[in-house]
Amino acid sequence: MTARSLSSQLTPLQAATDQTLYEQVAERIQALIREGTLKPGERLPSVRKLKQQLSVSTSTVLEAYRLLEDRGFIVARPQSGYYVKTTALALPEEPSQSTPPSQIRPVDISLMLRLLRIDLSPETIHLGAAVPGVQHFPLNTLNRLMGQVMRNNPMVVHSYNTVPGCEPLRREVAKRMLNAGCSITPDQIIATAGTTEACYLALRTVTQPGDTVVIESPAYYAVLEAMNSLGLNALELPTHPQDGISLSALESALKKQSVSACMLVSNFSNPIGSCMSDRKKKALVDLLNQYDIPLIEDDVYGDLNFEGNRPKAIKAFDTEGRVIYCSSVSKTLSPGLRVGWCIPGRYQQQVEHLKVVVSHMTATAPQLAVAAFFANGGYDRHLRNLRRAYQQQMNRMLQAILDYFPAETRVTCPSGGHVLWVEIPGGFDALELFEEAIQHHISIAPGPMFSASNQYQNCFRLNTGLPWSDEIDQAMKTLGNLTKKQLARQILAI
Ligand SMILES: Cc1ncc(COP(=O)(O)O)c(C=O)c1O
The dihedral over CA atoms of 473, 475, 477, 482, expressed in degrees to the nearest 10, equals -170
Q: Which of 137, 173, 297, 298 most suits a substitution to test ligand 1, by most atoms within 8 Å of the C-beta?
A: 298
Domain assignment of residue 92, yes or no: no
Ligand 1 nearest-atom number relative to CA 129:
14
Q: Which of 190, 269, 270 most suits a substitution to test ligand 1, by most atoms within 8 Å of the C-beta?
A: 270
Q: Tell me which of 355, 379, 403 is where a domain ends.
A: 379
Domain assignment of residue 274, yes or no: yes
Domain assignment of residue 76, yes or no: yes
Residues with CB under 6 A from ligand 1: 130, 194-196, 220, 265, 270, 298, 300, 328, 330, 335, 340
Q: Tell me which of 379, 397, 430 is where a domain ends.
A: 379
Residue 200 Cα, ligand 1 centroid: separation in angstroms? 12
Q: Which of 331, 359, 464 most suits a substitution to test ligand 1, by most atoms within 8 Å of the C-beta?
A: 331
Q: Nearest C-alpha to atom 16 of ligand 1 is from which residue?
A: 270
Ligand 1 nearest-atom number relative to CA 265:
1
Residue 51 Cα, ligand 1 centroid: separation in angstroms? 43
Do residues 328 and 435 share a domain?
no
Domain assignment of residue 323, yes or no: yes
Q: Nearest C-alpha to atom 14 of ligand 1 is from which residue?
A: 130
Do residues 195 and 75 share a domain?
no
Do residues 304 and 419 share a domain?
no
Q: Whole-prediction pTM value?
A: 0.85
Q: What is the pLDDT of residue 4?
A: 42
Residue 441 Cα, ligand 1 centroid: separation in angstroms? 24
Q: Tell me which of 330, 361, 379 is where a domain ends.
A: 379
Do residues 442 and 357 share a domain?
no
Q: Nearest C-alpha to atom 1 of ligand 1 is from which residue?
A: 270
Are the CB atoms for 191 and 358 separated by under 8 Å? no
- pLDDT values of the chain reduced to their tens digit, one per residue, 494 residues: 444 455 556 665 665 555 688 888 888 888 788 777 888 888 999 999 988 888 899 999 999 998 888 767 788 888 888 988 866 555 778 899 999 988 998 998 888 888 888 878 889 999 999 999 999 999 999 999 999 999 999 999 999 998 899 999 999 999 999 999 999 999 999 999 999 999 999 999 999 999 999 999 999 999 999 999 999 999 999 999 999 999 999 999 999 999 999 999 999 999 999 999 999 999 999 999 999 999 999 999 999 998 889 999 999 999 999 999 999 999 999 999 999 999 999 999 999 999 999 999 999 999 999 999 999 879 999 999 999 999 889 988 998 998 899 999 999 999 999 999 999 988 899 999 999 999 999 999 999 999 998 899 999 999 999 999 999 999 999 999 999 999 998 877 76
Do residues 348 and 402 share a domain?
no
Q: Which of 112, 195, 334 most suits a substitution to test ligand 1, by most atoms within 8 Å of the C-beta?
A: 195
Q: Nearest C-alpha to atom 12 of ligand 1 is from which residue?
A: 300
- CA geometry: angle at 213 spanning 211 and 456, to 5°? 125
Do residues 399 and 334 share a domain?
no
CATH assignment at residue 444? 3.90.1150.10
Domain assignment of residue 101, yes or no: no
Q: Long-range contacts for 421-426 (Cβ within 8 Å, ≥24 apart)? A: 421/95, 421/218, 421/241, 421/271, 421/272, 421/273, 421/459, 421/460, 421/461, 422/459, 422/460, 422/461, 422/462, 423/95, 423/458, 423/459, 424/458, 424/459, 424/483, 424/487, 425/458, 426/458, 426/487, 426/490
Q: What is the pLDDT of residue 453?
A: 87
Domain ranges, residue 243: 138-379
Q: What is the CA radius of gyration of the chain?
A: 23
Q: What is the pLDDT of residue 336?
A: 96
Residue 475 Cα, ligand 1 centroid: separation in angstroms? 25
What is the C-alpha to C-alpha distance for residues 415 and 464, in angstroms, rounded to an integer?
13
Are the CB atoms for 39 and 83 separated by under 8 Å? no
Q: What is the largest CA-CA distance in the chain?
A: 75
Residue 425 Cα, ligand 1 centroid: separation in angstroms? 28
Q: Which of 190, 199, 215, 220 most suits a substitution to test ligand 1, by most atoms within 8 Å of the C-beta?
A: 220
What is the C-alpha to C-alpha distance for residues 423 and 191, in angstroms, rounded to an integer?
37
Q: How many domains does the chain divide into? A: 3
Residue 456 Cα, ligand 1 centroid: separation in angstroms? 21
Do residues 111 and 60 share a domain?
no
Give the model confidence (pLDDT) of 368-384 as tens digits: 999 999 998 799 999 99
CATH assignment at residue 197? 3.40.640.10
CATH assignment at residue 8? 1.10.10.10
Distance linking the first and last C-alpha atoms of the chain: 39
Domain assignment of residue 100, yes or no: no
Do residues 178 and 311 share a domain?
yes
Peptide bond into 448 cis (omega under 30): no
Ligand 1 nearest-atom number relative to CA 197:
11
The closest of 477, 469, 410 to 440, measured between CA atoms, is 477
Ligand 1 nearest-atom number relative to CA 193:
11
Domain assignment of residue 220, yes or no: yes
191 bridge partner residues: 341
Domain assignment of residue 238, yes or no: yes
The closest of 129, 94, 97, 98 to 455, measured between CA atoms, is 98
Do residues 371 and 446 share a domain?
no
Do residues 388 and 453 share a domain?
yes
Do residues 210 and 112 share a domain?
no
Do residues 236 and 254 share a domain?
yes
